[in-house]
Amino acid sequence: MDPWPPGGCRNCDVQESGEGKDGNRLSAQAKELLFYVPEQVDSIVVYGRAVLLAAIAFYGVRLAMMDIPSWEMSSSLIHLPMVPIHEFGHVVFRPFGEFVMLLGGSLFQIALPLVFGGIFLVKNRDPFAASVMLRWSAAAVTDVAPYIYDARAPQHVLLTGRTGDSGAHDFIDVLGPRRSRPRRGDDAPRPCLGRSAGVATIPRK
């Protein structure tokens, strides 16, 4: 006599057990990568990383306090190396069409440090270096945010020496008519990816 009821599954317990083991294995691997600590660490490395972490935290607070709509970050030190990375992103994504090429500059600017972070984490087993790359990517998001915001009412002078109204502007071309939505009120907030920790609220002007 078949002990399994009609519609029953002979291998359900085995499958669930296998899926549980796979989940536990992935979780264990992730913890091992993220919290890996070598058996021996040079004290100079520890102190050096502590100083770097403090500097990153201090600079991160400065970036978070900058005014996004005015693109105050364009005068910051970290903005300068992002410009050639952004422009190279357009070249990388050019084969995928105009729309992707226009987005490619900002995407590459944000994704490149994440790629480096993955290499540091998986290949070098260096979670600290990976976290620094994550912070770099967050700063790149903060740098891109005012560029997106500027598409609604272009006023910032770009690399062409002109504003987006009379020159090239990635997000004017990407957003098209959607960038000119009617206002909901002078004091209505506009959510925009900006602050390194997540979403910033930018007042409409």
- Whether 36 is in a domain gets the answer no
Q: Against a cut of 0.85, is the pTM above it?
A: no
- Whether 119 is in a domain gets the answer yes
- Whether 10 is in a domain gets the answer no
Query: What proportion of the chain, given as a percentage, has pLDDT over 90?
Result: 32
pLDDT band at 11 (very low <50, low <70, confident <90, very high): low
- Whether 118 is in a domain gets the answer yes
The C-alpha atoms of residue 105 and residue 109 are separated, in whole angstroms, by: 6
- Nearest alpha-carbon partner for 59 in 136, 159, 174, 169: 136
pLDDT band at 53 (very low <50, low <70, confident <90, very high): very high
Q: How many domains does the chain have?
A: 1
The C-alpha atoms of residue 73 and residue 88 are separated, in whole angstroms, by: 20
Run of H or E residues at 58 = helix 43-64
- Whether 31 is in a domain gets the answer no
How many residues are present in the chain? 205
| Beta carbons of 174 and 99 less than 8 angstroms apart | yes
The C-alpha atoms of residue 94 and residue 105 are separated, in whole angstroms, by: 10
Domain range for 117 is: 42-203
- Whether 19 is in a domain gets the answer no
pLDDT mean across residues, the chain: 76
- Whether 175 is in a domain gets the answer yes
- Whether 159 is in a domain gets the answer yes
